[in-house]
Structure 1
């Protein structure tokens, strides 16, 4: 019985850490600590917030016209994405990391730690996209990479912009209602937005809309942990079936959302490299 209780406690811990917003204002490291060339930037949003970002110039010998915007999962801040940024630099990309409002050095915002996501975060990604197009206009080939809520937002914004080339979505959500029901069944009390634009906030709605099938121009790579109790393979494969010609699924065996990358970094990197070729 003790082992069974431990199993349920561990599962609850996995679910909570996978979904609850957990902002951090402090950076455990910066690009300077690992000797990466970068520029600190300020990204304005349409509603007046100012986001803190790090721009990493491509390190390739040839001129690069590719840039990837990295969106975090809402747990920590953009410092958690430094290693991932270095992988894209190796692939010849410029990289922009940014913090949502309420995170890192971005504008103050009351992040609710029981919330799954704030609708304002969609404005943050839109702000990052507009910033790239304005500040780095010569870097015309823009792609998205996101984890968790960042993956879902990347799909939503990318599905409504014909100029986005690639979307790499590691453990994206689908519908708020579906996620809420599955979490309630698991005994989790996570709050979801009640008033929102489905086009801006729900990835699956964008992918299954029969009236806007021409919206998604980007190629889409789904990454999912084979053992994740929330962002499960069934859910991701169902989204893949909506646009099979434009999407690919990479299942990381024996992994959950928290370690899809760290469980086998070389395999993860090679999947992204192959997808982008």
Structure 2
């Protein structure tokens, strides 16, 4: 029962706030799921300190791959622990981190009407470069969720990760903000650089796996489908769909209770084995 309540908490708190709602407190840490881990502090070029958890591959299987997870707009990295366990259980090293202003990372003034800050891309870039430096000779990629896919796009366009996985992929922040205004009559603001965001996607050359819910309203399946279908030659892009709404991939891609995300993990394994 406790494990079910924990999972329910994680899934509820990764649902999109559609504006920033960070939490400073960790309701759970990896040992809540009996995951061995270590805490590291990653410094950004502008001297922010990012709290991070590194979870090594479990079960005797090592894919020689590090996955850096870019969280969404609410809560903190503790809400992605079931996703981290899903990946670690099939042999991936997972690096979770909190943006500045989230969790136990450096203080940062946050306007809760803002969708994201450009500094969050700086944070992901620092975490990605840390992972690549710490584990040379292995693959290093990014897994972004919701708002985190914006940060992942920025980093993938410049730093050439080995792969990019994104659930609830944001195709255009400006269009997303307009959709939020229309659906919820809620004003959400963007950094000035957001107008240049659509120019980043064509620059991503690494393989991409986009995970999309059929009932997702704000990051609709049609957006991910278009991104996959408009790939140029030599740009490998794949689409994984699930029956559900935004943030529902883990539960939807589960074959039986207690083995959360097993179908999700299998899809990631297939994608990264090509």
Q: TM-score surpassing 0.5?
A: yes
- Aligned partner of 1:227 in structure 2 is 215
> Equivalent residue of 1:268, what SS?
helix
Q: 2: distance between equivalents of 1:36 and 1:58?
A: 10
Q: 1: distance between equivalents of 2:153 and 2:191?
A: 20
Q: 1: distance between equivalents of 2:144 and 2:62?
A: 25
| Equivalent runs, 1:184-263 vs 2, <5 Å | 184-196=181-193, 202=197, 204-208=198-202, 215-243=203-231, 245-253=235-243, 255-263=244-252
> Equivalent residue of 1:68, what SS?
strand
> Equivalent residue of 2:193, what SS?
coil
- Aligned partner of 1:268 in structure 2 is 264
Say which one has the larger Rg: 1
- Aligned partner of 1:11 in structure 2 is none
Instruction: Answer yes or no: is 1:143 the counterpart of 2:141.
Output: yes
What TM-score comes out, normalization by structure 2 length? 0.84
Are the structure 2 counterparts of residues 64 and 176 from structure 1 closer, same or farther at C-alpha, using a change threshold of 3 Å? closer
State the 1:197 CA deviation: 6.6
Report the number of matched residues: 250
Deviations 1:25-45 (A, max 9, x none): 111111122221111000101
What TM-score comes out, normalization by structure 1 length? 0.83
- Aligned partner of 1:49 in structure 2 is 48
Q: 1: distance between equivalents of 2:92 and 2:19?
A: 31
User: Would you say the 8 A contact 1:66–1:139 is kept in 2?
Assistant: no
Deviations 1:31-77 (A, max 9, x none): 12222111100010111110000011223646653100011112111
What's the C-alpha RMSD, in Å, of the aligned pairs? 2.1
Give the counterpart of 1:169 among 159, 166, 171. Answer: 166
> Equivalent residue of 2:94, what SS?
strand
User: Would you say the 8 A contact 1:18–1:258 is kept in 2?
Assistant: no
> Equivalent residue of 2:170, what SS?
coil
User: Would you say the 8 A contact 1:42–1:50 is kept in 2?
Assistant: yes
Which sections of structure 1, spanning at least 5 residues, go unmatched? 1-15, 209-214
